[in-house]
Amino acid sequence: MPAAFLNSLRMRLALGLALMGGTGLLLHEGLTHWPLPGLLALLGVAAPLPWSGVALALSGALLLPLAWWLAGSLSAPLARLLRALEGAVLSYRDGEFGSSIAPQAPGASTEMLTLMRLHSELGQTLREQRQHLAQRELLLDTVVQNTPVALLLTDASEHVVYANIAARTLLAEGRSLNGADFQALLQAAPAALREALLSGEDGLISFDEGGSEERFHLSQRRFRLQGRPHRLHLVRRMTRELSRQEVASWKRVIRVISHELNNSLAPISSLAHSGAELARRGQTERLPGVFASIGERAAHLHGFLSGYAQFAKLPAPQPVAVDWPAFVERLGAHYPFRLASPLPAEPGRFDPAQLEQALINLLKNAHESGGPAEAVELAVTPQGQDLRIEVLDRGPGMSEAVLAQALLPFYSTKRSGSGLGLALAREIAEAHGGRIALANRPGGGLRVSLSLPR
DSSP for 281-305, please give it: HT-GGGHHHHHHHHHHHHHHHHHHH
Is 136 a member of any domain? no
401 and 324 housed in the same domain? yes
pLDDT at 201: 82
306 and 398 housed in the same domain? no
- Where are any strands of DSSP class E within 294-370? 320-322, 338-339, 348-350
114 and 29 housed in the same domain? yes
Mark residue 202 as left, alpha or beta (left: phi above 0; alpha: psi -120 to 50; beta: remaining). beta
DSSP for 246-277, please give it: HHHHHHHHHHHHHHHHHHHHHHHHHHHHHHHH
Q: pLDDT band at residue 100, thresholds of 50, 70 and 90?
A: low
118 and 168 housed in the same domain? no
Of 125-129, 135-139, 362-366, 419-423, the poorest mean pLDDT is in 419-423
19 and 122 housed in the same domain? yes
CATH of the domain at 347: 3.30.565.10
Spatial distance between the Cα atoms of 321 and 342, rounded to a whole number of angstroms: 19
Pairwise pLDDT comparison (368 vs 296), residue with the higher score: 368
∠ CA(105), CA(110), CA(114), 5° rounding?
85
Q: Which residues are paired to 230 by β-bridges?
A: 155, 223
Number of neighbours of residue 371 by Cβ within 10 angstroms: 19
Range 153-162 contact pairs with CB under 8 angstroms and sequence separation of 24 or more = 153/230, 153/231, 153/232, 153/233, 154/182, 154/230, 154/231, 154/233, 155/228, 155/229, 155/230, 156/228, 156/229, 156/230, 158/182, 158/183, 160/185, 161/230
Query: Does residue 83 have a pLDDT over 80?
Result: no
Is 74 a member of any domain? yes
Pairwise pLDDT comparison (397 vs 264), residue with the higher score: 397
The separation between CA 197 and the C-alpha centre of its own chain, rounded to angstroms, equals 21
Spatial distance between the Cα atoms of 95 and 181, rounded to a whole number of angstroms: 31
Q: Which of 180, 211, 237 is the last residue of a domain?
A: 237
Is 142 a member of any domain? no
Number of neighbours of residue 362 by Cβ within 10 angstroms: 26
Is 300 a member of any domain? yes
Pairwise pLDDT comparison (106 vs 378), residue with the higher score: 378
pLDDT at 114: 74
259 and 229 housed in the same domain? no
112 and 20 housed in the same domain? yes
* CA atoms 434, 438, 441, 446: torsion sign: positive
Spatial distance between the Cα atoms of 369 and 363, rounded to a whole number of angstroms: 10
Q: What is the pTM of this model?
A: 0.43
262 and 165 housed in the same domain? no
CB-based contact 438:403 (threshold 8 Å): yes
From residue 416, how far is each of 246, 304, 318, 410, 412 by CA, in Å?
Answer: 25, 10, 32, 12, 9
Cis peptide leading into residue 50 (ω within 30°): yes
Pairwise pLDDT comparison (177 vs 26), residue with the higher score: 177
What are 252-304's pLDDT values in tens digits? 667 766 766 776 778 788 888 888 888 888 877 878 887 888 887 787 777 66
| AA identity, residue 445 | G
CATH of the domain at 164: 3.30.450.20
Is 374 a member of any domain? yes
219 and 252 housed in the same domain? no
Total structural domains within the chain: 4
The separation between CA 248 and the C-alpha centre of its own chain, rounded to angstroms, equals 30
Number of neighbours of residue 44 by Cβ within 10 angstroms: 6
Closest to 146 in 3D by CA, of 163, 165, 168, 161:
165
Q: Mean of the per-residue pLDDT values for the chain?
A: 78
pLDDT at 49: 47
399 and 372 housed in the same domain? yes
Q: Which of 237, 271, 298 is the last residue of a domain?
A: 237
Q: What are phi and psi of 340, to 5 degrees?
A: -90, -10
Q: Which of 286, 312, 338 is the last residue of a domain?
A: 312
Spatial distance between the Cα atoms of 15 and 40, rounded to a whole number of angstroms: 34
Is 306 a member of any domain? yes
Q: What are phi and psi of 71, to 5 degrees?
A: -65, -40
CB-based contact 168:152 (threshold 8 Å): no
94 and 174 housed in the same domain? no
Mean per-residue pLDDT, 65-81: 71
79 and 170 housed in the same domain? no
Mean per-residue pLDDT, 30-58: 60
pLDDT at 137: 85
What is the domain range of residue 70? 2-129
Is 138 a member of any domain? no
Q: pLDDT band at residue 60, thresholds of 50, 70 and 90?
A: low
Of 252-266, 300-314, 320-334, 398-412, the poorest mean pLDDT is in 300-314
DSSP for 94-139, please give it: TT-------TT-TT--HHHHHHHHHHHHHHHHHHHHHHHHHHHHHH
Is 62 a member of any domain? yes
CB-based contact 169:209 (threshold 8 Å): no
